[in-house]
Amino acid sequence: MSKGIWNGLGAYVLWGFFPIYWKLLHEVPALQVIGHRIVWSFILLVAVIVLTRQWHNFRSAALAPKVIGLYAVAGVLLSINWLVYVWGVNAGFIVETSLGYFINPLVSVLLGVVFLRERLRSMQWLAVGLAAAGVIYLTLTYGRPPWIALSLAFSFGIYGFVKKLAPLGSLYGLTLETALVFPAALIYLLFAESTGTGAFLHQGAVTDILLLGTGVVTSIPLLMFASAAREIPLTMIGVLQYVAPTIQFLIGVFLYHEPFDQSRLIGFSLVWIALIIFWVESFLASRVPVLPIPEMGEG
C-alpha cells in the first residue's frame, strides 16, 4: 500500500482506539480533559510550525478577519464535539458515540443539500431515509433520542461544513482553531486550580502524563490524516472513515461490555445498511464515464 493509505489507515485506527485513552482519564471531569486537550494541542502545534519555520507564513495566512471568524466558529464546534465525545465515553456510552460517527457522513450530505443546493440521487435519498429510520427506531427503543450520537454527528458535520468554506490547510487551520479557544480553556483550568478542583499535578504522575499527552494524541492522527488527504483519492478516504467508529463500537461492546441488545442491533443495522447503499451507489456513480459534449461540427 502507498504511504498515503498507511497514513490514512493509521489516523483512523488511532481515532478508533481513543475510547481506551479517555477511559484512563475517567476520574478527571470531561471539561478539564477538553481544557487540557486544547491547551497542549495548541502548544504542540505552534511548536511544529515554529520548528518547521512556517510561523511567518502562518501569521500571514491566519490574521485576515474573515479567516479568524470562520475558525472561531470551527473552534467552538470542535470543542463541543470533543466535550460530548469524552463525556460520552467516560459515562459508558462508547457504542452510542460510535453511532454518531457512523451517522456523520449522511449528516454532511444533508447539510450539502440544505445549504449548498447539492442534489441527491434516488438511492442516496434511500440511504438517508434508512439512516433516519434507524435513529427514530433507536429513539423509540431507548425512550429518548440518541442525543450523544446526534450531537457528535451534527457538531462534526457542521464543523466539516465550516471547514469546507475555510481557506487554511489542516495544520494551520487546527492551530488557529485551538488558538482561538485557548484563552477560554486556559482561564477555565486556572479557575479549577484556584478552587482546588484541578486534576493536573494533584492526581498522580500517570494522570499528569496522560493530560500532557492529550496534545500528542490529538495532533498526530490529524497530521497523518492531512498527509493522507493530499495523496489518496477521496473515495478511499470515504472507505477508511468507517474504520474508527467500527473499532469504537467493538471496544464498547467487547472490551467495556456496554449493552447491545436486539433493539439496538436493529437500529444500528438500519444505519449500516444505509451506509453500504450510500457508499456503493457513490462508488458506482464515480465510475460512470462522462461523455464529452460534441462541439459544433461533430456528429
Q: Tell me whether residue 293 is in a domain.
A: no
Q: Tell me whether residue 71 is in a domain.
A: yes
Q: Tell me whether residue 166 is in a domain.
A: yes
Alpha helices for the chain (secondary structure H): 3-16, 18-23, 30-51, 55-62, 65-90, 94-115, 122-142, 147-165, 170-194, 205-231, 234-240, 243-250, 262-287
Nearest Cα to Cα of residue 44 among 221, 220, 225, 229:
220
Q: What is the pLDDT of residues 53-85, one digit of tens each?
A: 999 999 998 888 889 999 999 999 999 999 999
Q: Tell me whether residue 297 is in a domain.
A: no
Q: Tell me whether residue 115 is in a domain.
A: yes
pTM (two decimals): 0.86
Q: Tell me whether residue 299 is in a domain.
A: no
Reported as a pLDDT band with limits 50, 70 and 90, residue 282 is confident
Q: State which residues form the domain around 13.
A: 3-285
Q: What is the pLDDT of residues 1-38, one digit of tens each?
A: 578 788 888 988 999 999 999 999 999 999 999 999 99
Q: Tell me whether residue 296 is in a domain.
A: no
Domain tally for the chain? Answer: 1
Tell me how far the alpha carbon of residue 243 is from its chain's centroid: 12
Sign of the CA dihedral with 56 first, then 158, 233, and 269 last: positive
Q: Tell me whether residue 295 is in a domain.
A: no
